[in-house]
Structure 1
Amino acid sequence: MSASPASSWPLVSDRSPQDILAWRPQGPVTVADYVRHVFALAAWLPEGHPWVVNLCEDRYHFAVLLGACAVSGRVSLQPSSQSAETLRQLAQSHPGALLVGETPTTVPGMAALAWPALDGLSLAAEPAMPLIPVERTVAVLFTSGSTGLPQPHAKTWGKLVANGRAEAQALGLDQRPHALVGTVPAQHSYGFESTFLLALHGGCGFWSGKPFFPQDLVEALAAVPRPRMVVTTPFHLASVMAAEVALPAVDLWLSATAPLAPELAARTEALTGAPVHEIYGSTESSQLATRRTTDGPVWRLMTGVALAQTAGDSLTWAHGGHVEGRVPLADLIRCELDGRFELLGRHADMVNLAGKRTSLAYLNHQLTAIDGVLDGAFFLPHDDEVDRVGRLSAFVVAPGRTREAIMAALRERLDAVFLPRPLVLLDSLPRNSAGKLPRSALEQLYGQHVSGKAPDATR
């Protein structure tokens, strides 16, 4: 590379060639092995495709493909969904994109390649660590669509390196690197930052798989050495704790994508002896702050990151450090001193009925705190969808519990104006791979179970 060190950062920083970067079922992978695979895959990728849709489910395959894009000047597109419609939209918005993944996928208007056998490619004996210009856009991440259509956000190499280092420092991993086991996909911003970036620039290593069921997590933890950190979501964490499986030792839990109930964090710490931390951020802003859930509601900003507010304005911007520009945040925030703040709710989540105000996050917390409720979500349609009385709906997974029993419990927790009409019992909720419930999924449930029905005051 001709760029000077001042304008470039290495693909993997502060690691020796023989350090372990990842663990696969076949065994550990060193930094040198990873660099060999990156160069080999970059040479294998055909010319003429500036965009590469990275659909790799295997976390190591994902890392190699992103590295290959970074060193060759291509851009890794990381959709939050792999639905046919999402991929059709990518084909239209990114002409010349190439789709790469382990499973053959056909998308009209987009070329596709199946993942090759890495060891079958031409591997260099002792490749030098590549340097990547800090201003190079190497990835485009997409919002989950929780509040609308997924939106693209470009990420430059220099900011991504700073991102990984800031998280490692905030969690103390720069002093004591952990083996990372992630239940979230690497394409999602949280999984991307807290497994991939923490490995390349935070001194950690990662497990190549993506365990979903509790027994999968048991096997993944057993495959990596201590200290171990599980990168997960409130939904996955609740499932693991409810299963009461015998887990190998966990040294740190990390959660994001939705607020984590302090009760669940306390139970997890009591059962496993490992602290539970949360990450706050967004695809738009990248990660911004951390907290230990059981210590209370206050968050602490990561190194270099700052928040700005205009007097009399409820909007907050994030800037500085690894944030790409100046980014407005979707949350109502009360800023304190010394980089501390509290979240008061999301702008889009605020509910104002009959002059009374609350948030969907608060309502969801009260719902899922009811004994026997495994999952649940409130939903308020847009103004043009609301029925004559403008009431909230709720979708609930609670095997063995009746609608009447759940409503009775809600009456003890909520003002009557916020009680759902109706409350719909389901076998499961259509959460995505990151444990989120996109608004589009809730709109579909509303159309299937509520829309066009008169409110039932007996439910």
Structure 2
Amino acid sequence: MTPPVVTELTTRMAEKARSVGVMWKAGLLPFPRLDEGVRSLVLTNKFGPIAGAVRIAARRNPMDIGLVDERGPLTFSQLDQQSNALARAWSDRGVGPGASVAALCRDHRGLVLTMLAANKLGAALLLMNTGFARPQLTDVAKREKVRVLVYDQEFTDLLGGIDGVDRYLAWVDDEATAGEVTTLDTLIAATDDSAPEAPPKPGGLVLLTSGTTGTPKGAPRPKISGLDSAQFLDRIPLRVGEATYMGAPLFHGTGISQFILSLALGSTVVVRRRFDPEDALRGVAKHRCTSLVLVPTMLQRIIDLGPEVIGKYDTSSLRIVFLAGSALPPDIGNRATEIFGPVIHNLYGSTEVAVATVATPEDWAQAPGTVGRPPVGCRVALYDDKGERITEPNVTGRVFVGSGLAFEGYTDGRNKEIIDGLLASGDVGHFDEDGLLFIDGRDDEMIVSGGENVYPIEVENLLVEHPEILEAGVVGVPDEEFGQRLKAFVVRSADSTLDADGVRAFVKENLARYKVPRDVEFLDALPRNATGKLLRNKLS
């Protein structure tokens, strides 16, 4: 019998070999110049994934466009040189390895240059959520010991509680009211742009949880191996030298992961400070983007533009519509497939576990609503409430994930539950007979009504299939007889005549009786955070 340690070692070696093959296919390990691939891995390990990727691209193709924002294009060489100057300017002001550099910015060059400069200094980069309130931002800055704060002028009033930090403006809306805060442009223009020395070690990246249940927790990524990119490329066919339209914000795991990967591939990244569905189509057409990165609510907004508007733009270059951040309703994914073709790549992960599974267009066609299978280097397993492994299909259990990109604990010292070396995602789900994973809901969102278990996502996914319903949210409310009863919050189309009885009848025709909402309330819009996640605590 083979010892477990040998089996594990063999498995890891096989995964590494497969990862190399995936990277080779994507073009990250160019043949026959394998020395270039090795040099790329060395630079990434030395400077961090963001600065390392730009330095590589600036060396190979300095005049290629690396970033396009509302101010225009920047070549990889310009990104490298300007971030050199910013890193030197901060170094002259005493910012060095291990310092915490926080960014509260929308998506534009100022945020990207901040990321690059922090990497080059070996500083810890903290990406702050633009949707947070003042108390959350204040608490996070204190807990993470922020030394440098880079922000857009529009957020000035949110930062009054943050003291003892060096402040810099990344984006100025009105110079007359900007005050005396130094801008990044000023620092860069006044500083030598030659390459600084590499830091003793990469500073890492700290992402924040959504903060829907209190102060956001910090989930650090101290170091990202070049081979870890294979976890995405294994099931998402990005290739070298293409173009990506980034709809999802860069402060979120969805956006930052695909941004880093696009840079590593030497691809152009198109960003905008605010998402607009028609502008996204315009950007895809203008820059011939092969990948469009969104959260599901963004995709819904694009679809809701209608065929007349969508038809104005040539989106035939799209091979990938990458979705993550919240559940993708089957109806939305199916409608997108009808419009754009077989391009849906539905990722399941979280701030803590990073990537868990990805559904390819073939997976989606086979089973709409699935989040697919684990890519190379990832493991997913289900466990019951007693910690016993669930192996049967169509049995719901708690989802646990193993990934080379997973974090190793929050910055406050806490961690998620771990079983067999796998990290709890906080969700429940099931595998079907073909091994495709489905997420049934959050483990803390289950509603018990009259002794029956109901997960809101099932009812929500059904409701948005109704032709007169744009959005739906379902929660449990107290009930004297049943313990809890379901209440649905519905956003109707502009010309809808649908009433509460019609909503209940639609659910009754398609789901079990105990899943029919007894209460229905119509809203103009559902409360969501900056990444489109439904804020259930705002529904009552």
1:120-199 to 2 correspondences below 5 Å: 121-122=189-190, 124=192, 127=195, 136-146=202-212, 149-159=215-225, 161-174=226-239, 177-194=241-258, 196-199=259-262
The residue that corresponds to 2:94 in the other structure is 47
Q: Distance in 2 between matches of 1:222 and 1:211?
A: 18
CA deviations on 1:13-50 (whole Å, 9 max, x unpaired) are 45314233212344432222111121212233343692
The residue that corresponds to 2:126 in the other structure is 77
Letter in structure 1 aligned against 2:80: V
Q: TM-score, length-normalised on structure 2?
A: 0.72
Change (3 A) 1:423 1:44: farther
The residue that corresponds to 1:38 in the other structure is 83
Letter in structure 1 aligned against 2:118: C
1:34-433 to 2 correspondences below 5 Å: 34-45=79-90, 46-47=93-94, 50-80=99-129, 81-103=131-153, 105=156, 106-110=159-163, 111=165, 112-115=167-170, 116=183, 118=185, 121-122=189-190, 124=192, 127=195, 136-146=202-212, 149-159=215-225, 161-174=226-239, 177-194=241-258, 196-224=259-287, 226-244=288-306, 245=309, 246-249=312-315, 250-273=318-341, 275-292=343-360, 293-296=364-367, 297=370, 299-308=372-381, 312-313=388-389, 314-325=397-408, 326-334=422-430, 341-380=437-476, 386-389=478-481, 390-398=484-492, 399=494, 400=496, 401-433=498-530
- Structure 1 contact 165–202 (Cα < 8 Å) conserved: no
- Structure 2 contact 67–268 (Cα < 8 Å) conserved: yes
Q: Distance in 1 between matches of 2:327 and 2:472?
A: 14
Q: Distance in 2 between matches of 1:308 and 1:35?
A: 42
Q: Distance in 1 between matches of 2:525 and 2:150?
A: 31
Q: Distance in 2 between matches of 1:88 and 1:425?
A: 35
Shift of residue 393, structure 1, vs aligned partner: 1.9
Change (3 A) 1:338 1:107: farther
1:299 alignment partner, SS class: coil
Change (3 A) 1:338 1:285: farther
Change (3 A) 1:227 1:7: closer
Root-mean-square deviation (Å): 3.1
Where structure 2 has 5 or more consecutive residues not aligned to the other structure, the ranges are 1-40, 171-182, 390-396, 409-421
Change (3 A) 1:154 1:137: farther
- Structure 1 contact 139–154 (Cα < 8 Å) conserved: yes
- Structure 1 contact 146–437 (Cα < 8 Å) conserved: no
Shift of residue 373, structure 1, vs aligned partner: 0.7
Letter in structure 2 aligned against 1:375: E
- Structure 1 contact 137–155 (Cα < 8 Å) conserved: no
Letter in structure 1 aligned against 2:185: L
- Structure 1 contact 304–322 (Cα < 8 Å) conserved: no
Q: Distance in 2 between matches of 1:338 and 1:5?
A: 40
- Structure 2 contact 357–371 (Cα < 8 Å) conserved: no
2:85 alignment partner, SS class: helix
Q: Percent identity?
A: 22
Change (3 A) 1:338 1:155: farther
Q: Distance in 1 between matches of 2:377 and 2:43?
A: 21
Letter in structure 2 aligned against 1:239: R
1:392 alignment partner, SS class: strand
The residue that corresponds to 1:455 in the other structure is none
Q: Distance in 2 between matches of 1:199 and 1:169?
A: 14
Change (3 A) 1:132 1:265: farther
Do residues 12 (structure 1) and 62 (structure 2) align? no
Count of residue pairs the alignment pairs up: 431
Q: Distance in 1 between matches of 2:377 and 2:295?
A: 26
Q: TM-score, length-normalised on structure 1?
A: 0.83
- Structure 1 contact 173–204 (Cα < 8 Å) conserved: no
Where structure 1 has 5 or more consecutive residues not aligned to the other structure, the ranges are 447-459
Q: Distance in 2 between matches of 1:347 and 1:152?
A: 21
